[in-house]
Structure 1
């Protein structure tokens, strides 16, 4: 394959002679009549060789050599000096010192010309191959340092070009890439297991605590039927607990308009669901309420599917139908269910999981990353209490919380503590595992709610309730949580960092320099 050669000479006859000689050798030759024109043509061009005259008006050959050596993009181009200064050894030496690869008199022998041109071109090609080799090695070193110093993804290590080479560096690149992919797969699976373990632990804790909501609400309503007042005090106590904890930890930050809008929407949903829960608690059994709350998972899936943030499938759709069948079964058999005074309250109670589902999706999609969960929950609950207060006063349902209330005061404080723990845990759960996985707490909270209702309220399970519960649980299993995103970065921990032993660190430059700096 011919080389790209630039001929620089102020003599038109000399340029024609050199160009013809080069073309006879199969090379692509261009010409420049001055040093200025030569430097202009070199900018951005990919040259294999420059044939340079020394004596030229304006910028002479020595000045061109100095400019080329000062420019890293031109310094690697070999220069064959061709000049009439045959007997001037000092000029020849100066040209070599300035970076010229070789010297040839203008009155040259064709065989000598061919040998020296080919030698310069071959040296240039070998040099480029060496520099390319070193650049690829730099990429391997950079990839290794990236793996050791921070999180990484195999596709972002820049090894594609290295691995595509057919030489030894390419084989090393492919081995390194394969090892990086294996480490990535192993660490990603470990992250997934850790995330699932954290999510499951939070889900179990939250589910058990959330299961207390229905029986505690029934006990509260038995103490006082002032649902608005109860909702105010429960949310106020829970909000103060969370806010004081966040304040003590220095986690309360500035409030923006966007943040306030988010907290207001969350607070409205929380306040409405609390009031409806307390009102329904006086008409529906704890077991029935616990089963109804299991519909939260279906609501989340349905909303997420409609918003296109969840994939839909036949299996998940059938799961949704199974859950709905369980609820319809409860409604049809309402006359045979002990403890239900008015079946319309079952329909009212069905709005609670809808609001819970809206809260789940709101947290998943709009919760600000910089908002501390404890501070966010505290502020939301305080806003909810503030919104409920005037309604309770105007509705004649406000009361003063005092020790004189006896068990009622204790239950309100306990419910405040429980609410704070559940909501903070749930925000963490949403952050760790997503809204749909978080909504699977309905499994645990329903089972726990039934257990707590039997234990605290003395209720009993009927065949109808068990049948409806089975249908809902089957539906929950079919809906399931969404698959986690796979495009994540992982951290590689070298063996010596894990054990504190092993070989000393490899001598790798802290800041890999260019291939030019590695050259002998």
Structure 2
């Protein structure tokens, strides 16, 4: 006997219905009874009935109507039906079976036969339900295997953990599939992270060397012409040509043109060419080492502005980083407050700090805007192009152009080297952002500062004073604390074995 099963008796004859109810209760089964087909169909729309004992001849919806309606019910709401009727016509009995009845009993039934028929029907219904669930689980497992074969998704997204916790052959198969896929996924995840980290570090070093070269080149031969607008126009124009050629060759997707995007790129171009002009201006007076150290303030300013407008959270760790950065700047500037004995007027250093301020504003603007629907390479080329046009107009109206020699000399060669360094560094930075993300790319401040100091020492024969060295260390420590750590996708664990 199937314990806990609930039987529904449907018969308009109260005496016959009562007889069936008592017979079912004698089998220690739960029972409900109804006097018509309409009420039975309403009850069967709800779960909880495991077997129906159904009369055929009833007013309203008769037994055939109930059987026909049940065919449209979902399988999990369609319990087996045993027809209990006074009909003895084989055609009528066959009709009931064709409509889905699993068995037939006369109203003058034997209690022993009733028990056997009920038990057999319940066992068959349970077997069918088990087969149905097993088939659904096999379909889920097959779909999971096909998904794993088709892409590199996280195995936890397959939602077969419940299958892996079961006993039996299906549970074993699910655990094997899940364990193997997790092992492969974790290995791939670890390898990809190592490759991204190594490649990102190499790109960071390359970017630092390229960006760090700019102050040294600016001071070495470009600042001496004392026309920062013209020099910036030449370098920005050549950089625009180089990046545009690369964007075309790499088939970079251009941005969509709209009034919003035009305004956005105009402001962004201003924030791009202004620090270039400032660099050539301050390079006449400020040592390359100091320029390289002060330019690293970009990361602090980005975080400070982002925290002020709610884009970043100010934690204790990052606040300590800001204190280190401010301390480093203070140590660097302190000797220059002695105007009579300092080699550089303090105002020049404050002007130099406008360069990282422009870079920081440019970064924040990029993060806030949703107007860009283009590859970063295309964005870089467009910004360089707009900047070159603005600088060309400003140079023509104000300072005039520095004459260029047909045979490249020191000035022309410096323009080419500076433009190549600027273009290659920006292209590499765009690649790094696409490859490793903006958080990892934000660590370029370390390599740019160190690269700038080293280039100034190599090309300009500058010496890093103890004060500058201490300031550089404080700023680098501050950068470490302020930098936002890149989120690493965590490895996933294997499912537990089924309990025995």
Normalising TM by the smaller chain, what interval?
0.7 to 0.9
Note the alpha carbon deviations across 1:59-89, whole angstroms, 9 max, x for none. 6544543443455536852121222223x33
TM-score (norm 1): 0.82
TM-score by length of 2: 0.85
List alignment gaps of at least 5 residues for structure 1: 490-520
Contact kept, 8 Å, 2:203 with 2:428, in 1: the verdict is yes
Contact 1:231/1:271 (<8 A) preserved: yes
Q: 1:450 and 2:450 equivalent?
A: no
Alpha carbons 1:102, 1:116 under 8 Å: kept: yes
Q: Deviations over 1:44-64 (max 9, x none)?
A: 545312223334566654454
Residue 319 of structure 2 corresponds to 317
Cα distance in 2 between the residues matched to 1:30 and 1:310 = 66
Secondary structure, counterpart of 1:333 in structure 2: helix
Q: Is the contact made by 1:296 and 1:439 (CA closer than 8 Å) also made in structure 2?
A: no
Tell me which residue corresponds to 1:280.
282
Alignment correspondent of 1:381? 384
The equivalent residue for 1:80 is: 82
Match of residue 498 from structure 2: none
Provide the C-alpha distance between the structure 2 equivalents of 1:426 and 1:224, rounded to a whole number of angstroms. Answer: 30
Residue 289 of structure 1 deviates from its aligned partner by 0.8
Report 1:20-419 matches (<5 A). 20-24=22-26, 25-31=28-34, 33-34=36-37, 37-56=39-58, 60-62=62-64, 64-69=66-71, 71-73=73-75, 77-86=79-88, 88-163=89-164, 165=166, 169-170=170-171, 173=174, 176-253=177-254, 254-306=256-308, 309-310=311-312, 312-334=314-336, 340-364=343-367, 366=369, 370-398=373-401, 403=406, 406-419=409-422
The answer as to whether partners of 1:285 and 1:340 remain within 8 angstroms in 2 is: no
What are the equivalent positions in structure 2 for 1:477-516 lying under 5 Å apart? 477-486=480-489
Q: Please, what is the CA RMSD of the aligned residues?
A: 3.3
> What is the distance in 1 between the residues matched to 2:226 and 2:464?
26
Distance 1:458 1:93, change over 3 A: same
Residues in 1 aligned to 2:403 and 2:105: alpha-carbon distance in whole angstroms: 107
Distance 2:131 2:112 in 1: 28
The residue aligned with 2:16 is: 14
Distance (Å, rounded) in 2 between the aligned partners of 1:307 and 1:154: 39
Distance in structure 2 (CA, Å) of the matches to 1:358 and 1:22: 82
Q: Deviations over 1:423-457 (max 9, x none)?
A: 12212223333444323222222222222223322
Change in Cα spacing, 1:183 to 1:339, as seen in structure 2 (3 Å) is farther
How far residue 131 of structure 1 moved from its aligned partner, in angstroms, is 1.9
Partner in structure 2 of residue 499 of structure 1: none
Q: What is the Cα deviation at residue 375 of structure 1?
A: 0.9
After superposition, the C-alpha distances for 1:312-362 in whole angstroms (9 at most, x for unaligned) are 544443333223222211211236999943221111111222222333344
Q: CA deviation at 1:400?
A: 6.6
Cα displacement (A) at 1:379: 0.8
| Contact 2:339-2:345 within 8 A present in 1 as well | no
Q: Is the 8 A contact 1:364 1:431 kept in 2?
A: no
| Count of aligned residue pairs for this structure pair | 487
Residues 200 and 482 of structure 1: is their aligned pair in 2 closer, same or farther, counting only changes over 3 Å?
same
State the partner residue of 2:495. none
Instruction: State the Cα distance separating 1:209 from its structure 2 match.
Output: 0.5
Q: Distance in 1 between matches of 2:312 and 2:191?
A: 24
Greater CA drift, 407-416 or 441-450? 407-416
Gaps of 5+ in 2: 493-500
Pair 1:57–1:97, CA change in 2 (3 A): same
Distance 1:369 1:51 in 2: 69
